[in-house]
């Protein structure tokens, strides 16, 4: 087998993410599946450098601009990318010698056809090696690699101490949280099984069936995963079904359900009774839901292809519980999907708010009298969260808010997440224009 150069893989990944706009979690997933035969150490190195470079891109660019005669924006894309991930290694990977980083970067530049720039690459990186400890960035944007407009947005809602705590959580290693399928195995039994395989397992403080796992090799290669003994899901996401007040026999509709985590959780809480209808827009997403249903072995849940923006008369007054976990800016999960902070814009947020309101207006009549709607997002943006709840209640007096929580990112514990539990009272009235 031909020897694989992990830095070439990293370069290709980062070119796809930073220069072509692909999503980092998708690129990494595809690459790690392609190179499953690499040992754990090599795959971990690829993951760490790719994720770290994306997470700290603004800081890496500030370092390069401080030592290079050519601004980062004017560099050739391949050279810019090689320098970015090389600087990351110099500054954040203690186990890699600086000289080795410089040498490998020069070799990579030559191999990619930039022989004439080998001296530039070497000179810039040697300067970084000498000056890295002296470079300090005091503004939150550069220090934590978050666009300034996001800092300004959050300052409308949070103080700087809270913002900095969130930014630190985003840059900390993202924990893998799982929900135990307690129909098939107890929490203690799963902890014991995983522990015997050398996987670090600890209980999550918020929910008894949630565990945090670490030091595992390949998730899809774990028998416990493939046999449906657990589902990967952040604890903040678990709160949707947990707080919905589900009763045995309930009919649940999840209008934007892929990949199915909240719906599967609801099906579990229903203990085999009732029915959960998990919907999403595309066949690809519905296929993913079906795969997860199959792995879970549950028969009180089904996947349906349906557009949540289009009113469905057959769904009127059908749901005891309606989940509206809607498309959002994703600003609460930057720690797991760091490129979100570079793709999102104020204009996109405004567009998402309109989409969220459209779906809420369309789906409100699906809830039975005395039923429940749970509106949720994975963002920390007030416009998409509390403001949307206020807007919705203003146009739907038959609903009242019984609980609302904005969960902020907490290092090692949870993502940023929002949910509101809305109860429908029995009020006679005609169908609103949004529902038609």
The answer to whether 193 touches 224, Cβ cutoff 8 Å, is: yes
The answer to whether 316 touches 366, Cβ cutoff 8 Å, is: yes
| The residue count for the chain | 436
Buried b (16+ CB within 10 A) or exposed e, 266-283: bbbbbeeebbbbbbbbee
Question: How would you classify residue 75: left for phi > 0, otherwise alpha for psi between -120 and 50, otherwise beta?
Answer: beta
Which pLDDT belongs to residue 3? Answer: 64
Per the listing, tokens 């760091």 go with 338
Which pLDDT belongs to residue 59? Answer: 97
* Confidence (pTM): 0.91
Residues 241, 388 within the same domain: yes
Residue 225, in any domain of the structure: no
Residue 414, in any domain of the structure: yes
Per the listing, tokens 């893998």 go with 176
Phi, psi of 215 (to 5 degrees): 65, 35
Q: Containing domain of residue 68, as a range?
A: 6-136
User: Three-state SS across 389-423?
Assistant: HHHHHHHCCCEEEEEEEEECCECCCECCEEEEEEE
Taking the alpha carbons at both ends of the chain, their separation in whole angstroms is 61
Phi, psi of 273 (to 5 degrees): -95, 175
Which pLDDT belongs to residue 134? Answer: 87
Local structure of 281: helix, strand or coil: coil
Residue 380, in any domain of the structure: yes
Tokens, residue 72: 């980062």
Q: Which of 87, 120, 136 finishes a domain?
A: 136
Residue 386, in any domain of the structure: yes
The answer to whether 371 touches 427, Cβ cutoff 8 Å, is: no
Contact partners, residue 305, CB within 8 Å, separation at least 6: 279, 280, 281, 282, 283, 286
Residue 46, in any domain of the structure: yes
Residue 77, in any domain of the structure: yes
Give, in degrees to the nearest 5, the angle at Cα 333 between 411 and 20.
125
Phi, psi of 370 (to 5 degrees): 70, 10
Assign residue 390 the CATH number of its domain.
3.40.50.150
CA gap 287, 304 in Å, rounded = 9
Residue 102 annotated as catalytic: no
Residues 264, 394 within the same domain: yes
Q: Which of 81, 107, 136 finishes a domain?
A: 136
Q: 98-111 and 118-131 helices cross at what angle (nearest 10)? A: 160
Assign residue 127 the CATH number of its domain.
1.10.940.10
Contact partners, residue 342, CB within 8 Å, separation at least 6: 57, 147
Which pLDDT belongs to residue 133? Answer: 81
Write out residues in the chain with pLDDT < 50, as ranges.
1-2, 428-436
CA gap 334, 28 in Å, rounded = 16
Residues 122, 248 within the same domain: no
Residue 229, in any domain of the structure: no
Q: Which of 115, 136, 157 finishes a domain?
A: 136
The tens digit of pLDDT for each residue in 354-364 reads 999 999 999 99
Domain count, the chain: 2
Contact partners, residue 202, CB within 8 Å, separation at least 6: 211, 212
Residue 228, in any domain of the structure: no
Residues 257, 402 within the same domain: yes
Among 256, 324, 363, 378, the one annotated catalytic: 378
Tokens, residue 78: 């391949």
């Amino acid at each position: 087998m031909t020897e694989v150069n992990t830095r070439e893989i990293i370069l290709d990944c980062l070119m796809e993410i930073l220069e072509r706009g692909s999503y980092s979690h998708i690129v990494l997933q595809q690459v790690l599946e392609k190179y499953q035969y690499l040992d754990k150490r090599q795959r971990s190195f690829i993951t760490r450098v790719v994720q770290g470079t994306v997470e700290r891109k603004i800081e890496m660019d500030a370092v390069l601009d401080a030592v290079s005669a050519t601004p980062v924006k004017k560099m050739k894309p391949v050279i810019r990318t090689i320098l970015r991930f090389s600087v990351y290694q110099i500054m954040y990977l203690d186990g890699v010698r600086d000289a080795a980083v410089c040498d490998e970067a020069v070799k990579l530049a030559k191999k990619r056809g930039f022989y004439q720039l080998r001296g530039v690459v070497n000179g810039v990186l040697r300067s970084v090696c000498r000056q890295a400890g002296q470079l300090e960035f005091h503004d939150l944007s550069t220090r934590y690699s978050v666009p300034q407009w996001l800092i300004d947005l959050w300052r409308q809602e949070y103080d700087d101490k809270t913002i900095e705590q969130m930014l630190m959580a985003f840059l900390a290693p993202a924990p893998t949280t799982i929900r135990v399928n307690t129909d098939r195995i107890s929490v203690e039994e799963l902890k014991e099984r995983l522990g015997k395989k050398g996987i670090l397992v600890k209980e999550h403080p918020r929910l008894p069936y949630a565990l945090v796992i670490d030091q595992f090799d390949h998730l899809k290669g774990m028998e416990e995963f493939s046999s449906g003994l657990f589902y990967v899901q952040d604890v903040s996401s678990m709160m949707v079904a947990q707080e919905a007040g589900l009763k045995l026999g309930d009919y649940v509709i999840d209008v934007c359900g892929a990949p199915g985590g909240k719906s599967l959780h609801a099906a579990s809480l229903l203990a085999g009774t009732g029915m959960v209808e998990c919907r999403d827009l595309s066949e690809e997403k519905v296929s993913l839901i079906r795969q997860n249903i199959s792995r879970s072995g549950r028969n009180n849940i089904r996947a349906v292809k349906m557009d949540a923006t289009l009113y469905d008369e057959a769904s009127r007054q059908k749901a005891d519980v309606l989940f509206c976990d809607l498309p959002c800016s994703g600003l609460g999960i930057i720690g797991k999907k760091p490129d979100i902070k570079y793709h999102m814009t104020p204009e996109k947020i405004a567009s998402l708010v309109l989409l969220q309101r459209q779906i809420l207006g369309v789906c409100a009549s699906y809830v039975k009298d005395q039923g429940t709607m749970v509106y949720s997002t994975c963002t920390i943006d007030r416009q998409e969260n509390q403001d949307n709840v206020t807007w919705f209640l203003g146009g739907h007096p038959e609903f009242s808010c019984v609980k609302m929580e904005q969960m902020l990112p907490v290092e090692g514990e949870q993502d940023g997440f929002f949910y509101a539990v809305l109860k429908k009272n029995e009020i006679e009235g005609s169908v609103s224009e949004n529902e038609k």
